[in-house]
């Protein structure tokens, strides 16, 4: 039972399509002693801004049925630490492709960060996050308006020749309009979806559970939303998609690829079980056998 689980993403060959999603895999090397990072198809690094950020006050995490809310607020050591320390250290530990995830509060900040990521030999793909729901001014504001998403993409495209992915928000009325705007400005691919904007209230304290009041909703409960978004965008655009949202099993990964994803990011599942990614990779050949799939690449967007 030899199955081909490799995929080609924007010209880069991944040994498998499993990628831990940005913000759910630490700085990237925390799990290096637990499993070989080279088992992963690629690694999406922590969302990074121009300046270091502490992020939001705590509590930043809330539980909900079928998933969780987070309002971390882009805590990160800043782009200079990413390209100077984090990415080179990770590169010394593994050879799997590294995806820098860039956030910003202005178009110029996105541009400068992408230039720095472009100059970093350890980084293979640049993913621009216009969809963080947990920061005020900026973040998701760039991903909910086609003109603003286009402007960020144009600036990022000027800044890098590396494969450029734009990470989109589901918190919009028509995700295909945003997706097409990014494609038209030269994006090599799209990552979707980021978290859904949510909120929980502690009914005993009569206060929001999260110090930030609202947070990003993720986990298995959002999987159908992600499948719908990926499928809509796959029909509307020609560039490759990294599917993301609630993926927890090899079956979920195959469903996401059938919807139109070339590769798949695993997010909240890592927080519940840090071995989720290797477990999905291990389970793939047997699930493919059951479903009569020889090559994963063959099922991309067949639905």
Partner 1 sequence: MEKRICTIERNSPVAPGCLRMSLTAEESLLHRCGQFVEVAVPGQYLRRPVSVSLSEEGRLTLLYKVVGKGTAALAALKPGDKLDLLTGLGNGFDSGACRGKALLAGGGIGVAPLLQLCRDLRAAGREVSAILGFNTAAEILLREELEALGARVTVATMDGSAGIRGLVTDALQEAGGDYDQAYVCGPMPMMRDLYPLLPDASEFSLEERMGCGTGLCFGCTVQTTEGPRRICHDGPVFKKTQLPW
Q: Reduced to 3 states, what is the DSSP secondary structure of residue 196?
A: strand
Q: Does 213 bind partner 1 (CB under 8 A)?
A: no
Are 239 and 91 spatial neighbours (Cβ–Cβ below 8 Å)? Answer: no
Q: From the list 5, 9, 37, 68, which residue makes contact with partner 1 (rule: CB under 8 A)?
A: 68
Q: Does 51 bind partner 1 (CB under 8 A)?
A: no
Q: Does 55 bind partner 1 (CB under 8 A)?
A: yes
Q: Does 223 bind partner 1 (CB under 8 A)?
A: no
d(CA 217, CA 69): 4
What's the min distance (Å) between Cβ of 81 and partner 1? Answer: 10
Question: In this structure, how many other beta carbons lie within 10 angstroms of the beta carbon of residue 55?
Answer: 15
Q: Given the rule CB under 8 A, which of 53-61, 88-96, 187-195, 225-233 is the region that contacts partner 1?
A: 53-61
Q: Given the rule CB under 8 A, which of 29-37, 87-95, 154-162, 251-259 is the region that contacts partner 1?
A: 29-37
Contacts 24+ apart (CB under 8 A), 154-157: 154/185, 154/186, 155/107, 155/108, 155/110, 155/111, 155/114, 156/102, 156/110, 156/111, 156/114, 156/126, 156/128, 157/185, 157/186, 157/187
CA atoms within 13 A on the CB side of 139: 20
Q: Does 24 bind partner 1 (CB under 8 A)?
A: yes
Q: Does 49 bind partner 1 (CB under 8 A)?
A: no
What's the min distance (Å) between Cβ of 302 and partner 1? Answer: 31
Q: What are phi and psi of 302, to 5 degrees?
A: -80, -5
Q: Does 72 bind partner 1 (CB under 8 A)?
A: yes
Of 113, 132, 182, 244, catalytic = 132
- Known catalytic membership, residue 229: no
Q: For residues 68 and 172, which CB has a smaller minimum distance to partner 1 in the complex?
A: 68
Closest CA to 17 of 189, 220, 225: 189
Q: Given the rule CB under 8 A, which of 26-34, 116-124, 171-179, 187-195 is the region that contacts partner 1?
A: 26-34
Q: Does 274 bind partner 1 (CB under 8 A)?
A: yes
Q: Provide the token pair at 283.
A: 């389970």
Total residues contacting partner 1 (rule CB under 8 A)?
35
Q: For residues 146 and 216, which CB has a smaller minimum distance to partner 1 in the complex?
A: 216
Cα dist from 206 to 72, 200, 201, 202, 292, whole Å: 22, 10, 7, 6, 52
Q: From the list 7, 31, 113, 257, which residue makes contact with partner 1 (rule: CB under 8 A)?
A: 31
Q: Provide the token pair at 210.
A: 């999260």
Residues 225/228/232/234 CA torsion (nearest 10 deg): 100
Residues that bind partner 1 (CB under 8 A): 23-26, 30-31, 33-34, 46, 52, 54-55, 58-68, 70, 72, 75, 219-220, 268, 270-275
């Amino acid at each position: 039972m030899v199955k081909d689980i490799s995929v080609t993403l924007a010209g880069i060959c991944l040994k498998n399509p499993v990628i831990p999603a940005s913000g759910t895999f630490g700085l990237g090397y925390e799990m290096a002693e637990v499993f070989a990072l080279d088992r992963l198809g690629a690694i999406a690094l922590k969302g990074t801004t121009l300046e270091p950020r502490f992020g939001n006050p705590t509590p930043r995490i809330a539980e909900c049925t079928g998933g969780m809310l987070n309002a971390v607020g882009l805590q990160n050591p800043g782009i200079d630490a990413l390209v100077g320390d984090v990415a080179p250290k990770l590169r010394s530990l593994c050879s799997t492709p590294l995806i820098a995830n860039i956030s910003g509060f202005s178009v110029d900040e996105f541009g400068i960060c992408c230039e720095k990521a472009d100059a970093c030999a350890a980084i293979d793909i640049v993913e621009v996050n216009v969809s963080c729901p947990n920061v005020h001014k900026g973040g998701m504001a760039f991903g909910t308006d086609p003109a603003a998403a286009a402007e960020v993409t144009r600036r990022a495209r000027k800044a890098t020749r590396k494969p450029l992915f734009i990470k989109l928000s589901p918190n919009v009325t028509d995700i295909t309009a945003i997706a097409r705007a990014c494609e038209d400005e030269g994006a090599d691919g799209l990552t979707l979806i980021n978290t859904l904007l949510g909120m929980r209230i502690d009914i005993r304290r009569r206060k929001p559970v999260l110090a930030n009041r609202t947070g990003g909703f993720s986990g298995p409960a959002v999987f159908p939303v992600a499948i719908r978004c990926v499928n809509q965008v796959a029909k509307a655009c020609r560039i490759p998609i990294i599917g993301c949202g609630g993926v927890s099993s090899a079956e979920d990964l195959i469903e996401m690829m059938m919807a139109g994803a070339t590769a798949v990011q695993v997010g909240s599942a890592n927080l519940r079980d840090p071995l989720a990614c290797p477990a999905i990779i291990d389970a793939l050949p047997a699930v493919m056998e059951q479903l009569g799939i020889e090559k994963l690449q063959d099922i991309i967007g067949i639905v």
